[in-house]
Amino acid sequence: MKNTATLELRGISKAYANGKQVLSDLSYTLAAGEYVAIMGESGVGKSTLLNLIAGLDTPDTGEIWVDGVALSAKDDEAATSLRRRHFGFVFQAFHVLPHLTLLQNVALPLLLNDLPLDRAQQMLVAVGLQGREQDFPRHLSGGELQRVAIARALVHRPRLILADEPTGNLDPDTAQEILQLMRSEIKANGAAGIIVTHSQAAAATADRILLLSKTGLQPLISHQHV
């Protein structure tokens, strides 16, 4: 099964700098193409978990395997290149570079991975922003910005999309639209996805919902989305 697992967490523990233990002996395996939502109370360590997976932080104990490769955040170079190639990110605050056009923003991962740039255009079309390629982010609404972020997260065909409250800054209608888009694009690109959210509605768009608590990561509802 290791071969098909996109992500494997083995006994992850992490404490904050102030000593508060947030994750202890957490294990989980994410299969390829699986799209899960992680919910949980504030401060339970959802974002920390995402940072650990992204290689932006190091677990105190335990191992993280991505696509059969052990992620060692101590080797920043290796973690960075893994992140660059296999991960896509969607943030609550969008994080689009303000001085680049939409097309340039979406093309960033292609550039970083030395891939042909034409897919950026396709992705913009896919997220419904055709004709806006040369616009700058300041001309866009929040929903539109998040579409750009989704296009950017998927443009280089990553194995895993990490989304941290992607709809936290959006009104419910837009949020629903974005969640559907994200799901369909993740599926269309054959990627796996982890969405961290407080929102039931958002979580509901995932294949499965996991609850992060002090005791670990448990399936909340087995929910089959067709």
Partner 1 sequence: MNHSLLSRWLLLGEWQAHRLQIVVALIAIALGIAMGFSIHLINTTAVNEFSAAVKSLSGQSDFQVRATQPTFDEMLYPVLAQHESVAVASPMLEIQAAIPAKLEDDRNNTLKILGIDVYRAITITPDLVGVPAEGRAFDMLSDDAIFLSPAAMEWLEVEQGDKLSLRLGTQTVTLRVAGGLVRAHAGQRIAVMDIGAAQWRFDHVGLLSRIDLKLKQGVNHPAFKAALEEELPAQYLVTETVDQERRIHNMSRAYRINLNVLALVALFTGTFLVLSTQVLSTLRRRPHFALLRVLGLTRNQILLQILREGSLIGIVGSLLGLGLGYAFAATALHVYGGDLGGGFFPEIKPAIQLRPLAALLFFVLGVSVTMLGSLMPAWEAAQAHPASALKSGSEETALAKLRTPWPALICLLLAAILTQLPPVVELPLFGYFAVALLLIGGIAWMPSLTALFFSGLFRIFNRLTAGALTTLVLARLANAPQQAAIALGGVLVSFSLMVAMAIMVASFRISVEDWLTHILPADIYVRTVVRQDALGFTPQEQQAIAATAGIERIDFIRSLQITLDSARPTVTLIARPIDQADPGHTLPMTDNALSPTEIPLDAIPIWVSEAMVDLYDYQVGKRVALPLSEAQQDYIVAGVWRDYGRQFGAIQMQLSDYQKLTGEWHVNETALWLQAGVAPEEIIAALKALPFGESLTFWQPNAIRAISLKIFDRSFAVTYLLELIAVGVGLLGVAASFSAQALRRVKEFGMLRHIGVTRGQIYRMLALEGGLLAGFGIIIGFLLGGSISLILIFIVNPQSFHWTMELHPPWQWLLIMALTMLMAAAVTALLAGRRAVSGNVIRAVKEDW
- Does residue 81 interact with partner 1 by CB under 8 A? yes
Q: How far apart are CA 206 and CA 30, in angstroms?
A: 13
Q: Please, are residues 27 and 12 in contact by the beta-carbon 8 Å criterion?
A: yes
> If you search the block for the tokens 């992140």, which residue do you land on?
83
Binding span for partner 1 by CB under 8 A among 22-30, 98-106, 178-186, 204-212: 98-106
- Does residue 97 interact with partner 1 by CB under 8 A? yes
- Does residue 114 interact with partner 1 by CB under 8 A? yes
Binding span for partner 1 by CB under 8 A among 50-58, 66-74, 127-135, 173-181: 50-58
- Does residue 76 interact with partner 1 by CB under 8 A? yes
Query: Taking the complex as a whole, how short is the minimal distance between the CB of residue 183 and partner 1, in angstroms?
Result: 22
Give the β-pairing of 160-164 and 87-91: parallel
Query: Please, which residue, 24 or 113, has the CB nearer to partner 1?
Result: 113
- Does residue 57 interact with partner 1 by CB under 8 A? yes
- Does residue 111 interact with partner 1 by CB under 8 A? yes
- Does residue 54 interact with partner 1 by CB under 8 A? yes
Q: Please, are residues 212 and 220 in contact by the beta-carbon 8 Å criterion?
A: no
Query: Please, which residue, 2 or 99, has the CB nearer to partner 1?
Result: 99
- Does residue 169 interact with partner 1 by CB under 8 A? yes
Query: Taking the complex as a whole, how short is the minimal distance between the CB of residue 138 and partner 1, in angstroms?
Result: 8
Four-point Cα dihedral 123, 129, 134, 140, nearest 10: -120
Query: Taking the complex as a whole, how short is the minimal distance between the CB of residue 101 and partner 1, in angstroms?
Result: 8
Phi, psi (deg, nearest 5) at residue 96: -110, 135
Q: How far apart are CA 112 and CA 209, in angstroms?
A: 32
Q: How far apart are CA 120 and CA 201, in angstroms?
A: 29
Q: How far apart are CA 86 and CA 157, in angstroms?
A: 8
| Element holding 80 (H helix, E strand) | helix 76-86
Binding site for partner 1 (CB under 8 A): 47, 51, 54, 56-57, 76-77, 80-81, 83-85, 87, 89, 91, 93-95, 97-100, 104, 108-114, 117, 138, 142, 152, 169
